[in-house]
A and B are shown apart, each in its own frame.
Chain A
Amino acid sequence: EPEVTQTPSHQVTQMGQEVILRCVPISNHLYFYWYRQILGQKVEFLVSFYNNEISEKSEIFDDQFSVERPDGSNFTLKIRSTKLEDSAMYFCASSVSSGPRGSEAFFGQGTRLTVV
């Protein structure tokens, strides 16, 4: 069964360092997303991406975040200068569409980011 894959599963980084989280969405999906979940809290939307551009973003997604689809398969989230409060589980997701059919998002297994 096709799935969204994320690498790495766990990343530890020092405060102030740049980090790139990687995702391979399901191959026929057109919409891509990043969500984050601070430990013990709810899952929060960060950004959605369609047709090589950001289609929607939350107030959490500030200038230190960026997303990119560098080739036909990968979808990345970059955090430019990590802060302690960026420590969270980051989920990538993809969906076929955003409309009435196929809008259910399938999530990857997550990357746990720990900023020390």
Chain B
Amino acid sequence: AQKVTQAQTEISVVEKEDVTLDCVYETRDTTYYLFWYKQPPSGELVFLIRRNSFDEQNEISGRYSWNFQKSTSSFNFTITASQVVDSAVYFCALSDSSSGGYQKVTFGIGTKLQVIP
């Protein structure tokens, strides 16, 4: 079975603060993929990052960074110097071979981030 837990349902920060969104996952597979998606108020889903289980290097993309730690089954997402435009729901997601392929992506419940000006 696969499961994604985002324990923070809502976070509010003041603009320019750093914020970390937590994600903990469960899988029996050794090969799996982790994702983060952003859902702004307009409703669409925006792909942010994909990580495979063999690549534990942390990644930075502008103000965004991701910390993948297999030892704690976590894939946390940090926004540095947050901006109002970062206000959105952020979903962590996982795909593994448990259902016969990697096509099914299981999403966490999402963390709603509000950045206050």
| B45 contacts A42, C-beta separation under 8 Å | no
Q: Which of B33, B44, B46, B50 has the most CB of A within 10 A?
A: B44
Note all chain B residues with C-beta closer than 8 A to A112: 43
Give the Cβ gap from B37 to chain A, nearest Cβ, in Å: 7
| B107 contacts A98, C-beta separation under 8 Å | no
- Cα–Cα distance between A8 and B46 once the two chains are bound (Å): 19
- Cα–Cα distance between A58 and B110 once the two chains are bound (Å): 20
Asked if A105 lies at the interface with its beta carbon under 8 angstroms from chain B, I say: yes
Asked if B99 lies at the interface with its beta carbon under 8 angstroms from chain A, I say: yes
| Interface residues in A, total, Cβ within 8 A | 28
Given contacts A56-B99, A98-B101, contact A104 B50 (CB under 8 A): yes
Note all chain A residues with C-beta closer than 8 A to B31: 100
Asked if A31 lies at the interface with its beta carbon under 8 angstroms from chain B, I say: yes
Give the Cβ gap from A52 to chain B, nearest Cβ, in Å: 15
Asked if B52 lies at the interface with its beta carbon under 8 angstroms from chain A, I say: yes
Give the Cβ gap from A15 to chain B, nearest Cβ, in Å: 23
- Cα–Cα distance between A99 and B52 once the two chains are bound (Å): 10
Q: Considering only CB atoms, which chain B residue lies closest to A57 in the complex?
A: B104
Asked if B91 lies at the interface with its beta carbon under 8 angstroms from chain A, I say: yes
Given contacts A43-B91, A56-B99, A109-B44, contact A103 B50 (CB under 8 A): yes
Asked if B105 lies at the interface with its beta carbon under 8 angstroms from chain A, I say: yes
- Cα–Cα distance between A43 and B109 once the two chains are bound (Å): 8
The 6 closest A-B pairs by CB, nearest first: A107-B45, A48-B103, A109-B44, A104-B50, A43-B107, A98-B103
17 contacting pairs across A/B (C-beta < 8 A): A33-B103, A42-B107, A42-B109, A45-B106, A50-B103, A55-B103, A56-B100, A56-B103, A89-B43, A93-B45, A98-B101, A99-B102, A103-B103, A105-B105, A106-B47, A107-B37, A108-B44
